[in-house]
Structure 1
Amino acid sequence: MVNAAHLHNPLTLAYLGDAILDLHVREHVILKLQAKPNTLHRAATFYVSAKSQAQTFDALVDAQYFTEQELDVLMRGRNAKSHTKAKNTDVVTYKKSTGLEAVIGYLQLAGEEGRLKELLDQIVALCEERELK
């Protein structure tokens, strides 16, 4: 069977990627903090904010982390014309965030569980590095 994950609209991939990243981060902060929901929510927001995702986007692109196919999806997600407005951030930050989420959605639909887990763990690790600075 031919995998057609790359044929999906990048904003559709980002929609899925947003949910996957959010779930991964929620599980991470629950295991890390074992705190009340309000504290967990504040902690999770640090990882999934558009600003944090844009910083992760830049770090991973600079490190040449992505495969050629992933980079294509990343850039298609970043360049996609969204009909929604960025909340609490500038357009460039929002677009980078969308690109990162698109790659996550792509990896999920492509059935690349190992690479997806690796990327999600890398996102968390980069966020924690920034948190320590």
Structure 2
Amino acid sequence: MDAKLYNGLTLAYIGDGAYELYIRNHLLNLGYTKVNELHKHAIKYTSGEAQASVIRYFKEKNLLSEEELQYYKRGRNSNVLKVRKNIERIDYLEGTGFESLIGYLYLSKQIDRMNELFDEAIKYIELGGDQHE
């Protein structure tokens, strides 16, 4: 599949699934086995606010290539008409940008790079980085 052919929201849809699965596997590896417990802990990593915080961290630390930034922006700048009530619009758009970047990496088969960013995101969140905003 040619990731360049897809719009930001389609890439975000794929990226959301890839990130969610990686996080679920991470939580299983930490020893969480009960569904309610898995869900509660997954939100810490996968909420729109958490994703927005992670992508801001990536940008602040210059962890993304120019090409990766383009795919992040493709998602962030998507024409999203409706945003959930429990999240700020800017956080939703930043989170969509994060998911779009991940979708691009997944579809372009850059799995090692995708996993590298996932590991950075996990480390950042587990060190409390998502709490400083």
With normalisation by structure 2, the TM-score equals 0.91
| Percent identity (aligned) | 34
Which stretch shows the higher mean deviation, 103-112 or 31-40? 31-40
Partner of 2:14: 16
2:86 to 69, 85, 88: 88
Q: 1:87 to 1:132 in 2, by over 3 A?
A: closer
Do residues 40 (structure 1) and 38 (structure 2) align? yes
Greater CA deviation, 123-132 or 87-96?
123-132
Q: 1:30 aligns with which of 16, 25, 28?
A: 28
Give, in whole Å, the separation in 2 of the partners of 1:111 and 1:82: 27
The aligned residue for residue 98 of structure 2 is 100
Q: 1:73 to 1:132 in 2, by over 3 A?
A: closer
The alignment of Structure 1 onto Structure 2 pairs a total of residues equal to 131
DSSP-derived class of the 1:80 partner: coil
Partner of 2:49: 51
Instruction: Say if 2:53 and 2:130, in contact at 8 Å, map to a contact too.
Output: no
CA drift at 1:107: 0.3
The letter of the residue matching 2:27 is V
Q: TM-score by structure 1 length?
A: 0.91
| Residue segments in structure 1 that go unaligned for 5+ positions in a row | none
Matched residue of 2:33: which SS?
Answer: coil
Give the whole-Å Cα distance in 2 for the aligned partners of 1:4 and 1:20: 17
Which residue of the partner structure matches residue 5 of structure 1?
A: 3
Unaligned runs of 5+ in 2: none
Tell me the alpha carbon deviations over residues 8-38 of structure 1, each in whole angstroms, 9 at most, x when there is no partner. 1010000000011100001111111333111
